[in-house]
């Protein structure tokens, strides 16, 4: 991989692959929802959507759509919590056009009012359906119980915050955060590196860097104390969805390899949770318990599943027992060796092709991890002992009765375990106050 940087701070990773006459690329920008103002949640998502749909000054959205369609190419944008991502791809013969169009929407986007209104309408429609899937609703509300409702790691847009977003907000967000010093660009495919370097220099070299911006902090102020079960009463459901857990850790934690092995020991075919909760007790077909680390902030540890309401207490108690055992007893050497082999075999597919390899290296570079992070991880996995797995679980996992839990299901038939404080909420209590959109009094110029 050829890695280099422009004077304005843009970092580029190039990987030639001449097997097929194709190219694909990714841009990562430090501009995700972590940077949303608290009263305008959804701003990063809106900005990403309109950045692409609105097109550029040179090629408005519909024109850009036609150009891409004519070439069988793609150029898309989306926002997550920690990054705004653009992906593009097409034939190698169209690479110059693809890089040109990418530079145009990054450097001179239009942000037309009609595309902004359409994006708001589409997201608003999705918000109206956000509770249709019990698992999605449970995951969203569980994160808010653990991190806190105002934490950047858990907060989500609602119709009220969405309605406040005006074009001026989108322009300000773009100007503040979409700058070359905040992004990395990766390209893989059928090209000559030196020619692509010259092309990128020509399209991005004179783009000035932005000012340094403070990094958002992830506050962790649980909405409920440990030992609390929140029951969201949904009489319309015939099953309960259960999630239990706590704040987890980061991928750069020295215990990550041991905890990843614990994940494998617990889950999947042959895992302790699958064997005991699913196969032996028949409590839940979809049950799990996973350490979910993140790159830049503490992830979650979450255990749960779906079951019949009358078996809810038994499911929770069974999961508690399994994880208390993980804290106090080491796995057998044979079980650990099987988990190690399975984990290493799965990682082979994480770098099975050059595109996947480049995406991983791009991600490591974006989040400040060493390029050989995967190799270090694989080496560490080889030497983890049963005692180290148990010690890591003991250090990172709270006693299960100190966890926070969430149950989504019908209150009248759901059984609750002993020893937990229970808080019952109606779905309506989770909804924000109603508010009307504030119209943009005048269009905000960008250029």
Each residue's pLDDT expressed in tens, for the chain with a length of 447 residues: 999 999 999 999 999 999 999 999 999 999 999 999 999 999 999 999 999 999 999 999 999 999 999 999 999 999 999 999 999 999 999 999 999 999 999 999 999 999 999 999 999 999 999 999 999 999 999 999 999 999 999 999 999 999 999 999 999 999 999 999 999 999 999 999 999 999 999 999 999 999 999 889 899 998 889 999 999 999 999 999 999 999 999 999 999 999 999 999 999 778 999 999 999 999 998 999 999 999 999 999 999 999 999 999 999 999 999 999 999 999 999 999 999 998 988 877 777 788 889 999 999 999 999 999 999 999 999 999 999 999 999 999 999 889 999 999 999 999 999 999 999 999 888 877 666 555 443 445 565
Domain that holds residue 338: 228-430
Identify whether residues 234 and 159 lie together within a single domain.
Answer: no
Q: Is residue 444 part of a domain?
A: no
Distance CA 167, CA 116 (A): 7
Instruction: Look at residue 66 in the predicted model and tell me its pLDDT.
Output: 98
- Whether 180 is in a domain gets the answer yes
Looking at 169, 204, 239, the residue that finishes a domain is 204
- Same domain for 424 and 288, yes or no, is yes
Q: Based on the domain organization, do 179 and 87 belong to the same domain?
A: yes
In a domain, 209, yes or no: no
In a domain? residue 157: yes
Go through 81-103 and write b for each residue having 16 or more CB atoms within 10 A of its CB, e for each that does not.
bbbbbbebbbbeebbeebbbbbb
Q: Are residues 197 and 258 in the same domain?
A: no
Say whether both 139 and 237 belong to one domain: no
252 and 111 fall within a common domain: no
CATH of the domain at 86: 3.30.830.10
Name the domain boundary from 204, 220, 237: 204
Residue 443's pLDDT is: 44
Same domain, yes or no: 246 and 287: yes
Instruction: Give the pLDDT of residue 447.
Output: 56
- In this structure, is residue 343 part of a structural domain? yes
Query: Is the model's pTM score more than 0.85?
Result: yes
What pLDDT does residue 268 have?
Answer: 78
Please, are residues 82 and 251 in contact by the beta-carbon 8 Å criterion? no
Residue 8 domain flag: yes
Same domain for 46 and 178, yes or no, is yes
* Together in a domain, 264 and 401: yes
The backbone torsions φ and ψ at residue 299, rounded to the nearest 5 degrees and listed phi first, read: -80, -155
Q: How many domains does the chain have?
A: 2
Q: 142 and 244 in one domain?
A: no
Same domain, 158 and 253: no
13-43 burial code (b ≥16 CB/10 A, e <16): bbbebeeeebbbbbbbbbbbbbbbeeebbbb
> Does 242 reside within a domain?
yes
Q: Based on the domain organization, do 186 and 236 belong to the same domain? A: no
Answer whether residue 212 is part of any domain.
no
Rg of the chain over all Cα atoms, to the nearest angstrom:
24
> In this predicted structure, what is the pLDDT of residue 436?
52
């Amino acid at each position: 991989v050829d890695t280099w940087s422009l004077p304005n701070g843009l970092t580029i990773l190039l990987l030639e692959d001449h097997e097929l006459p194709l190219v694909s690329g990714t841009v990562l920008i430090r501009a995700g929802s972590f940077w949303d103002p608290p009263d305008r949640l959804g701003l990063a998502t809106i900005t990403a959507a309109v950045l692409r749909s609105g097109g550029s000054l040179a090629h408005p959205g519909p024109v850009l759509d036609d150009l891409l369609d004519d070439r069988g190419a793609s150029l898309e944008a989306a926002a997550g919590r920690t990054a705004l991502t653009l992906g593009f791809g097409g034939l190698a013969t169209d690479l110059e056009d693809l890089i040109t169009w990418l530079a145009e929407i990054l450097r001179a986007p239009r942000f037309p009012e009609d595309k902004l209104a359409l994006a708001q309408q589409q997201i608003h429609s999705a918000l109206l359906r956000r509770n249709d899937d019990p698992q999605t609703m449970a995951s969203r509300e569980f994160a808010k119980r653990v991190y806190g409702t105002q934490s950047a790691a858990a907060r989500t847009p609602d119709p009220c915050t969405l309605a406040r977003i005006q074009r001026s907000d989108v322009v300000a967000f773009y100007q503040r955060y979409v700058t070359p010093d905040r992004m990395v660009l990766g390209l893989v495919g059928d090209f000559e590196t030196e020619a692509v370097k010259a092309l990128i220099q020509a399209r991005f070299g004179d783009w000035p860097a932005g000012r340094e911006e403070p990094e958002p902090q992830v506050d962790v102020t649980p909405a409920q104390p440990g030992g609390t079960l929140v029951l969201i009463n949904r009489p319309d459901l015939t099953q309960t969805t259960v999630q239990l857990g706590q704040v987890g850790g980061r991928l750069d934690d020295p215990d990550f390899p041991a905890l990843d092995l614990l994940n494998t020991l617990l889950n999947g075919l042959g895992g302790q949770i699958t064997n005991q909760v699913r196969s032996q007790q028949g409590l839940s077909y979809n049950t799990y318990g996973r350490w979910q680390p993140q790159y830049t902030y503490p992830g979650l540890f979450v255990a749960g599943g779906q079951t019949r309401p009358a078996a809810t207490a038994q499911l929770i108690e069974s999961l508690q027992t399994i994880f208390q055992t993980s804290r106090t007893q080491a796995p057998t050497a044979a079980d650990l060796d099987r988990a190690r082999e399975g984990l290493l075999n799965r990682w082979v597919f994480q770098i099975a092709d050059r595109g996947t390899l480049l995406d991983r290296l791009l991600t490591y570079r974006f989040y400040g991890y060493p390029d050989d992070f995967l190799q270090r991880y694989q080496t560490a996995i080889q030497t983890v002992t049963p005692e180290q797995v148990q010690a890591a679980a003991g250090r990172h996992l709270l006693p299960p009765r100190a966890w926070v839990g969430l149950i989504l299901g019908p209150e009248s038939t759901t059984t609750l375990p002993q020893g937990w404080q229970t808080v019952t909420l109606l779905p309506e209590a989770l909804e924000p106050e109603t508010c009307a959109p504030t119209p943009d009094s005048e269009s905000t110029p960008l250029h």
